[in-house]
Amino acid sequence: MGTTADPRRLLWDACYNVRDLGGFPIDGARTTRWGAIVRSDNICRLTRHGRQALVRYGIRCVIDLRSPDELAIETDPFSRGDMDEVAYLNAPLMTAEFLGLYDAGLNQLFEIVLLQHCRSAVAELLTAIAVCPPGGVLVYCHAGQERTGIASALLLALAGVPSEVIADEYARSDEYLEPLHAAWIAARPAEDREAMAKSLRLPPARMVATLDYIDEAYGGIAEYLRSTGIDERDIARVRERLVTK
């Protein structure tokens, strides 16, 4: 319910990892648009004050990247009557195919395998953003880290933000989620804690490798998005939402 020294971080009561994707440099003259896209961890955590902060910030569409089985175990923040002006869409980013591969053990980076096997879900997400009503769009998952981080990276890449800037933004979740991660780690058996702590970290190099993969395998972000089947007009609409004129 306010901001910190990081101008993009938003303090919405009981969420840890809320960040505006505005203000990133594009071509030396333009930036990404403030208030257009916000990323966050699970808004089911929000208190009444947190929900009011979301509405006051101008969010008018929420896209939930969590899978159906996650929805059943969390409180619905839209049942309280104080976010009636905000549209909601569940658009799971992890497909059944990806989850099968994940359970079997991935032999490549999580991010790269998701981009390879969840292209239909990526298309659904971008299409949803393209047709959202006027106002801010919030994209979130459980921790607002991996799935939301990948979605945010794709959006910033589409806007033309440099790869190294996107990678640094991706890694910021480690800092903001530290209290939540500490609680998760403390709940694990002592012998598992070191491995879990390591697995929760997302160094910038992971996103650098992911963006390099997009360039090498598809020839850039626009071609990757076209490979998902998304309509060319929707790609343009998403870019227009993100980029200042």
- Residue 3 placed within a domain: no
What is the spatial distance between Cα 142 and Cα 140, in angstroms, rounded to a whole number?
7
* CATH code, domain with 36: 3.90.190.10
- Residue 92 placed within a domain: yes
- The pTM (predicted TM-score) of the whole model is 0.94
What is the spatial distance between Cα 121 and Cα 84, in angstroms, rounded to a whole number?
26
Query: What is the tens place of the pLDDT at every residue in 15-47?
Result: 999 999 999 999 878 999 999 999 999 999 999
In this prediction, residue 4 carries a pLDDT of 54
- Residue 2 placed within a domain: no
Lowest-confidence region among 54-63, 68-77, 80-89, 158-167: 68-77
Structure tokens at 90: 């569940």
In this prediction, residue 3 carries a pLDDT of 43
What is the spatial distance between Cα 208 and Cα 165, in angstroms, rounded to a whole number?
10
- Residue 124 placed within a domain: yes
- Residue 98 placed within a domain: yes
- Residue 163 placed within a domain: yes
Structure tokens at 205: 């190099």
Query: What is the tens place of the pLDDT at every residue in 172-202?
Result: 999 999 988 888 888 888 888 888 888 788 8
Would the pLDDT of 213 be above 80? Answer: yes
> Side by side, which strands form the sheet with 59-64?
9-10, 18-20, 37-40, 136-140, 59-64, 87-90
Domain with 55, as residue range(s), is 9-242
- What one-letter code names the amino acid at 145? Q
- Residue 114 placed within a domain: yes
- Residue 229 placed within a domain: yes
Average pLDDT over the chain, rounded to an integer: 94
Would the pLDDT of 165 be above 70? Answer: yes
Count of C-beta atoms within a 10 Å radius of residue 199: 10
Spatial contact of 54 and 6, defined as CB atoms under 8 Å apart:
no
What is the spatial distance between Cα 235 and Cα 123, in angstroms, rounded to a whole number?
10
How many domains, the chain?
1
Give, in order, the Cα–Cα distances in Å from 220 to each of 37, 114, 147, 186, 237: 22, 17, 20, 41, 18
What is the spatial distance between Cα 92 and Cα 140, in angstroms, rounded to a whole number?
10
DSSP structural state of residue 6: S
* Helix residue ranges per DSSP H, the chain: 48-56, 68-71, 96-104, 110-117, 119-131, 147-159, 163-171, 173-176, 178-186, 193-200, 204-218, 221-227, 232-242
